Amino acid sequence: MTETQAAAEAVSTARPSLLEARDLHVEFASRGRRARAVDGVNLAIGEGEIVALVGESGCGKTTLARTLLGLERPTSGEVRYDGAALDYGSRALKAYRRQVQLVLQDPTGSLNPRHTVYEAVAEGPRIHGLPDEREVVTEALSRAGLRPPDRFFLRYPHELSGGQRQRVVIAGALALNPKVLVADEPVASLDASVRGEILALLLRLREELGLSALVVTHDLGLAWNIADRVAVMYLGRIVESGPVEQVLTAPRHPYTQALMSVLPESPERVVLTGEPPDPTRIPGGCRFHARCQVLASGKAAEAGVDGKCRSELLDVLPAVPGAQAACHYAEVAG
């Protein structure tokens, strides 16, 4: 009970932003064209806040996460951490990566099969030359729920279950005592019964250590389970964002509405046809208009915005905590 109350309280008070993307653009060359993978994103993650970044494959969510980690350089715009723009010098980046740690999707792929649990967790502290390595590893394993920690020191990844491996990966991130975790689909490759345990661990780390997290996922149930705020990304832009309770119970953007409607148990399905369009050919007007069910049904025309949907660009959403949607129809329909 206290956990949920504390969480609710934490959401209502505005937090200073710790990690921030400002008007971020990341472009790649793709078969002679420019792919605008991230095409204007403002996003702020507050201290102790868990933000879920939701979208389909190819929407740019992983590129955005990698750019926030300093693994990609933005084409324009900036990443800010703790009030200052990210410095891409190698020494500064190394220091930055102690603060902001990555947890990958597949623990089997991200652990070296020939390294013991101890070596896997000690690697970060060694690179950063932290003192008291054994103590650091012990505490990280114990925080990640592998107890008693010394029983796991000499085990190899293949001797562990999927859930335990993901805990080792998380312990490796925790060993550097970071402020932010960026987790890319942290439970997608785990079994149903283990999934809840790992998500509960992320919530507990926030509670105990005040960790912030950006969780990249296509799973709205996960956002509902652990996130304070959610940002829905489509074709390089955030199209809707806000507190989870608001966005996921009363979504305003037709894309979010469609994503919600295909959850099992949903009364009426809107199955969008086709795959998400290509970031080398972002449509004009609203970038979602070619697949938009509200435009296709004629409701946008009734509201008199269909012309705008097809031809008028939408502003980039600012990084504010309140609920907002980038949609011409939502603007007039309220």
Partner 1 sequence: MSLLELDDLSVTYRIASGEVPAVRGVSLTLDSGAALGVAGESGSGKSTLAMALLRLLPRDARVGGRILLDGEDVITMKWGRMRAVRWAEASIVFQGAQHGLNPVRRIGDQIAEPLLVHGLAKPDAARRRVAELLDQVGLPAWRARSYPHELSGGQRQRVMIAMALGCKPRLIIADEPTTALDVMVQAQVLTLIKELVAEQGISLIMISHDLSVLSDVCDRLAVMYAGRLVEHGPSAEVFHDARHPYSRALAAAFPTVGDPVSRLAPKGLGGDPPDPMRLPGGCSFHPRCPVALDECATLDVELWPAGEHHSAACVHVKEREGAQ
The residues binding partner 1 (CB under 8 A) are: 3-4, 7, 56-57, 161-164, 191-200, 203, 218-221, 223-226, 244-245, 248-249, 258-260, 262-265, 269, 271-273, 275-276
Q: Which is nearer to partner 1, 72 or 185 (CB)?
A: 185
CB of 90 to partner 1, least distance (A): 36
Q: Which is nearer to partner 1, 135 or 159 (CB)?
A: 159
Task: Write the single-letter amino acid at 37.
Answer: A
Residue located via tokens 């402020």: 179
For residues 186 and 216, give the distance between their C-alpha atoms in angstroms, rounded to a whole number. 8
For residues 41 and 23, give the distance between their C-alpha atoms in angstroms, rounded to a whole number. 5
CB 180 within 8 A of CB 98: no
Measured on CA atoms in the order 287, 316, 44, 22, is the torsion positive or negative? positive
Q: Which is nearer to partner 1, 90 or 193 (CB)?
A: 193
CB of 227 to partner 1, least distance (A): 9
CB of 270 to partner 1, least distance (A): 9
CB of 136 to partner 1, least distance (A): 26
Other CB atoms within 10 A of residue 19 CB: 25
CB of 160 to partner 1, least distance (A): 9
Upper half-sphere CA count for residue 143 (Cβ side, 13 Å): 25
Token duo for residue 294: 């509200």
Q: Which is nearer to partner 1, 3 or 132 (CB)?
A: 3
Q: Which is nearer to partner 1, 296 or 303 (CB)?
A: 296
Token duo for residue 256: 């979010």
Which phi and psi (to 5°) does residue 166 adopt? -65, -35
CB of 188 to partner 1, least distance (A): 9
For the chain, where are the alpha helices, taking DSSP H only?
2-12, 61-68, 90-99, 107-110, 117-127, 133-143, 162-174, 192-209, 220-226, 244-249, 254-261, 293-296, 299-302, 306-311, 328-333
CB of 30 to partner 1, least distance (A): 15
For residues 57 and 68, give the distance between their C-alpha atoms in angstroms, rounded to a whole number. 18
Other CB atoms within 10 A of residue 77 CB: 17
For residues 44 and 23, give the distance between their C-alpha atoms in angstroms, rounded to a whole number. 11
Q: Which is nearer to partner 1, 69 or 232 (CB)?
A: 232
Q: Which is nearer to partner 1, 130 or 194 (CB)?
A: 194
DSSP letter at 118 equals H
Q: Which is nearer to partner 1, 138 or 256 (CB)?
A: 256
CB of 197 to partner 1, least distance (A): 4
C-alpha 148: how far from its chain's center? 31
Task: Write the single-letter amino acid at 286.
Answer: C
